[in-house]
């Protein structure tokens, strides 16, 4: 290999720093895309249409497969749920609520929650389902 003079241009570009940057970005993207959202995992029933997205102040009631009721991500009893939602309803009369229940749960448990929401006169109600894949 012949030595280059000081005033001659380089024929080759050193791409090692660019590859290092590309690998670092790749690792960052892999880590960010594998991060999951905290919450309760339930097996959702299928539906033909997806409901509109919930508003930010929406309270989520989740009924797990074992019958445990969660308000957002905190386990509560039906009585605790009713008193807590009554407080939220007093602060916001148009309180939106979504109910997400496991597909294998007893229907009676869902009806108990819906009956309690009716007693509190919560009219902004949504039921979470999965989109039916055709």
- Is residue 36 domain-resident? no
- Is residue 15 domain-resident? no
For 34-86, what is each residue's pLDDT tens digit? 665 456 677 777 776 655 554 458 888 988 888 889 988 889 999 999 999 99
Tell me which residue range forms the domain holding 127: 46-131
**pLDDT the model gives residue 54:** 44
- Can you give the three-state secondary structure of 24-85, one letter per residue? HHHHHHHHHHHCCCCCCCCCCCEECCCCCCCCCCCEEEEECCCCCEEECCEEECHHHHHHHH
**pLDDT the model gives residue 23:** 92
- 3-state SS class at 34: helix
- Is residue 111 domain-resident? yes
Domains in the chain, number: 1
- Is residue 87 domain-resident? yes
- Is residue 101 domain-resident? yes
Q: What global pTM score does this model have?
A: 0.57
- Is residue 120 domain-resident? yes
């Amino acid at each position: 290999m012949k030595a280059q003079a000081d005033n001659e241009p380089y024929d080759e570009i050193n791409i090692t720093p660019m590859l290092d940057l590309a690998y670092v970005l790749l690792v960052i993207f892999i880590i960010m895309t594998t991060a999951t959202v905290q919450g309760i995992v339930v097996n959702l029933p299928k539906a033909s249409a997806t409901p509109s997205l919930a508003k930010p102040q929406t309270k989520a009631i989740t009924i797990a497969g074992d019958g445990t009721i969660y308000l957002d991500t905190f386990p509560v009893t039906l009585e605790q749920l009713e008193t807590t939602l009554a407080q939220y309803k007093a602060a916001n009369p148009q309180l939106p609520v979504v109910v997400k229940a496991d597909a294998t749960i007893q229907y009676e448990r869902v009806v108990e929650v819906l009956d309690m929401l009716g007693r509190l006169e919560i009219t902004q109600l949504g039921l979470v389902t999965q989109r039916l894949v055709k």
